[in-house]
Chains A and B, each alone.
Chain A
Amino acid sequence: MSITVTSAERAAEPARRPARRGAGRGLRAPEGPAGWLFVSPMILVIGVFLVVPIFMALWVSFSDWNGQGSPFSASVNWVGTKNYANLITNPGLTQTDFMTSIRNNLYFVLIVVPLQTVLALILALILNAKRLKAKSFFRTAYYFPSVTSSVAISVVFLFLFSSSGAVNAGLNLVGVHGPNWFADPRGVFHIVLGGLGVNTDSPPSALTGHGVGGLSWWDWLSGPSVAMSAIIALVVWTTAGTFMLFFLAALQDIPVEVEEAAEVDGASAWQRFRNITLPLLRPTLFLVLTLGVIGTWQVFDQIYVMSQGAPGKTTLTPAYLSYDSSFTNFEWGQGSAIAFILFTLIVVLTLAQRRLLREKDGPSRRELRRRAKAAAKAPEPART
């Protein structure tokens, strides 16, 4: 009995040991359970309203739930990856619609994120200038669009961009006949190509004959539609204010001495910005770009209020398509699958972005290892 140590006892051994060590760990040990007690309301709230629903949605994305009653009832079946396959690999309308929404949103992200970041930075630099008067007025004015309800702003933009609205009236003054913004499904790149002499009515067959995901290359290359461009203008204008605040806070953190030292050294304003301000803003830039990418891939309210995917499906986005599949077609599995594909896409893009921006930040690990090796060989490493 005493000789044979059962495997269960052996397995229990390491588990017991740390627990003992933990118990004898000074005065602060009893604070642990109390701490959990204090955070438990928050965990409860997050758990019930965030964590559990996410797992429920994950289950729904693998099921044929049609939105009637509980998704865990006996009548709901596991359908494997069918919902995902219909969106990505199985040819059909579902795939075409999903790919169209990805295309639309991709152009949206590619245009909105750089524009809003640059605009936010410019606004922040203006506000940070020493000579500017009435700073708080401008700060409020720039930030105002961000705190106003996006639905209200969307409705105002509908009026501004209507065929006889203020934007077209302004364009008329300079002799341009503006398009009927929210009814124009033509892709901007297609319009440009048409202007360059490409016959857009019967585009090159090399592009129309082949494609990926149910869309021809010609369709992929359409660019954002005229209608989407109006939404892009709206989103850039509303979010730039928020990101301006981020940049402004970072700018005010930059020590004045650094700037002054550069000035003494004879650096021009552009050199100071390029070589001092911008590198010091990199963490903020990363934050703004990341938040921008995440936010733009999830665009929903503006689409829901302004266009609902029209004209010609050119403002369809995955988030809106997810809503539409679920609430109109009762394809809740498909709607959830779209949400999870979108989630994966965002995570992958964010990680890629992080890697891209980090490598510039300093030497990579491999580089550090190489340097360490070199340092070990050479008695005196060159250091500046």
Chain B
Amino acid sequence: MSQNHSYRKLAFASLAALAVTATAACGGEGFDSGSEVQASAAGPVQLKVLIASSGDAETKAVTDAAAAWAKTSGNTVTVTPATDIKQQLGQGLAAGTPPDVFYVDAGAFADYASVGALEPYGDTFAEKDNFYPALRQSFTYQNKLYCIPKDFSTLALEINTEAWSKAGLTEADIPTTWDQLKAVATKLTNSDQVGLAIGDTRDRVGAFMVEAGGWVTNPDATAVTADSPQNLEAVDYLKSLLAAGVAKYPKQLDSGWAGEAFGKQKAAMTIEGNWIRGAMKNDFPAVKYTVVPLPAGPKGPGTLSFTQCWGVATKSANHAAAVSLVAALTTEKAQLGFAESFGVMPSRQSAQAAYVAAFPDDKPFIEGVAYAQGPVNAPKINQVLTDFDTALQGLPKANSKEILTRLQTNASAVIGK
């Protein structure tokens, strides 16, 4: 009995000692948050780059470009393709040892910027004005440009040319307004196919909101404008398409995404981004289609842009080298090379002409950037938007006004703070 007592004491003592050493060890790394940063390290440095790669082509292209920079600058670079960038970055940031340079998606950018994970190098970046203003806005948080956009995508309207001519439609019928879109979708709908397949999330439906002159927030994402009449008009328009059966969500067409329904010819039109090119080429090479700009809404043309930037970690010890690497990866030449090898659009305005010359079919995509809206640029908004997506999936049965009121309430709880 007594022995047990003294052993128990010993056990507690050793555990307590352990706890102290462990916390001390953890603290040693993390206490001095950000103060140990050197502006420029002397001599060659080692950079770690973490990318959310779309495949081998992208990994190889980025690795090669980084290696070229390393060679001329005398530094070393390791490029790692992430299996789950969110989780890998989260671990790195919590441990105080994040990669120096990494991809940041515009949809998650505000989360990273708001917790101070990103070094705001954008405002002092040479030629920053050469990058499209819409994309820069996506990486601006509290009036600071944090990082330089890597590339981007926009949404456009894809039309199956065979179904189009079969329905007796011609070049002149290409829709430029909502009414025309509805009319052609109706004409294209028959027992085998639906007129339009559209993804059931804010990343597609949001385009209608932009065309109606609305959006979830005001331009600098400081106030929520979800329950505006413009948004209601957009959601009601979508609801009318779905209710009439001339538009359907992919899952109603037994497809994982709208591009699949389009490729299987279950839909004659779809609204997707330039990534659909690769999917069509690989999975449905026989389907002929054309790409046109999204039809304009009551307040003019509108589309959504999706982009990623080259984030530089606040905790990186080699800011100067990291920014110099980003500069090398975002030159016009590098961006056109990336476009060639894995099909992304350059984020520099000066590269547009060369891009259109090389890929004339992608003109509607790249020109969309002039009137494109990026993802909602506010921290902690993801949960709210996921809820909005869930509500959109309830259309056409659901009440449009209730959906937007709910979005307004939930978003205000996050953005009003």
Question: Which residues of A pack against B, CB within 8 Å?
Answer: 18-19, 21-22, 25, 29, 32, 36, 40, 43-44, 47-48, 51-52, 55-56, 66-75, 92-94, 96-97, 163-164, 180, 183-185, 201, 309, 311-313, 324-332
Contact = CB atoms under 8 A, between A and B. Distances in A.
B287 interface: no
A18 B5 CA distance: 9
A180 B11 CA distance: 56
B2 A72 contact: no
B33 A329 contact: no
Contacts of B393: 185, 311-312
A86 to B, nearest CB: 10
Contact of B30 (A29, A72, A164): A72
Interface size class of B (residues with CB under 8 A): 35 or more
Contact of A68 (B33, B251, B255, B387): B33
Contacts of A309: 386
A110 to B, nearest CB: 23
Interface string B374-417: 00000110111011001001100100000000000010010000
Given A22-B3, A312-B393, A51 B383 contact: no
B7 A164 contact: no
A48 B90 contact: no
B84 to A, nearest CB: 9
Nearest to A72: B27
20 contacts: A18-B6, A19-B6, A22-B3, A22-B5, A32-B3, A36-B10, A47-B18, A51-B15, A67-B93, A68-B93, A68-B94, A70-B27, A72-B26, A73-B30, A74-B31, A312-B394, A328-B86, A328-B111, A328-B383, A330-B111
B23 A52 contact: yes
B117 interface: yes
A329 B107 CA distance: 11
A201 B397 contact: yes
Given A47-B18, A330-B380, 5 more contacts: A68-B93, A69-B96, A70-B31, A96-B387, A163-B255
Interface in B1-27: 1-3, 5-7, 10-11, 14-15, 18-19, 22-23, 26-27
Contact of B382 (A92, A185, A328): A328
B348 to A, nearest CB: 30
B382 A329 contact: yes
A67 B383 contact: no
B129 interface: no
B81 to A, nearest CB: 18
**6 closest A-B pairs by CB:** A70-B30, A18-B2, A183-B251, A69-B30, A163-B254, A22-B2
A32 B3 CA distance: 8
A213 B15 CA distance: 39
Contacts, number: 133
A73 B27 contact: yes
Nearest to A97: B383
B87 to A, nearest CB: 5
A21 B29 CA distance: 46
B22 A52 contact: yes
A328 B414 CA distance: 14
B91 to A, nearest CB: 9
Given A52-B23, A180-B254, A330-B115, A69 B94 contact: yes
B111 A75 contact: no
Nearest to A327: B90
B57 to A, nearest CB: 23
Contacts of B254: 163-164, 180
Contacts of A311: 251, 390, 393
B94 to A, nearest CB: 5
A7 B30 CA distance: 45
Interface string B126-143: 000000000000000000
Contact of B15 (A47, A67, A71): A47
Contact of A326 (B7, B22, B90, B96): B90
Contact of B410 (A48, A93, A180, A327): A93
A43 B14 contact: yes
B78 to A, nearest CB: 23
Contacts of A328: 86, 108, 111, 382-383
A340 to B, nearest CB: 18
Contacts of A52: 18-19, 22-23
Contacts of B114: 330
B11 A43 contact: yes
Given A32-B3, A51-B15, A68-B116, A93 B390 contact: no
A106 to B, nearest CB: 19
A101 to B, nearest CB: 12
Given A29-B3, A312-B393, A48 B31 contact: no
A43 B26 CA distance: 19
A185 B410 CA distance: 21
Contact of B23 (A72, A75, A93, A96): A72
Contacts of A96: 387
Given A92-B413, A313-B386, A328-B111, A70 B14 contact: no
Interface in B273-318: 315
A47 B23 CA distance: 12
Contacts of A94: 383
B196 to A, nearest CB: 18
Contact of A73 (B33, B90, B115): B33
Nearest to B2: A18
Contacts of A19: 2, 6
B102 to A, nearest CB: 14
A138 B85 CA distance: 41
Nearest to B29: A70
Contacts of A70: 26-27, 29-31, 33, 96
Contacts of A312: 390, 393-394
Interface in B87-129: 87, 90, 93-94, 96, 108, 111, 114-117
Nearest to A180: B251
B22 A329 contact: no
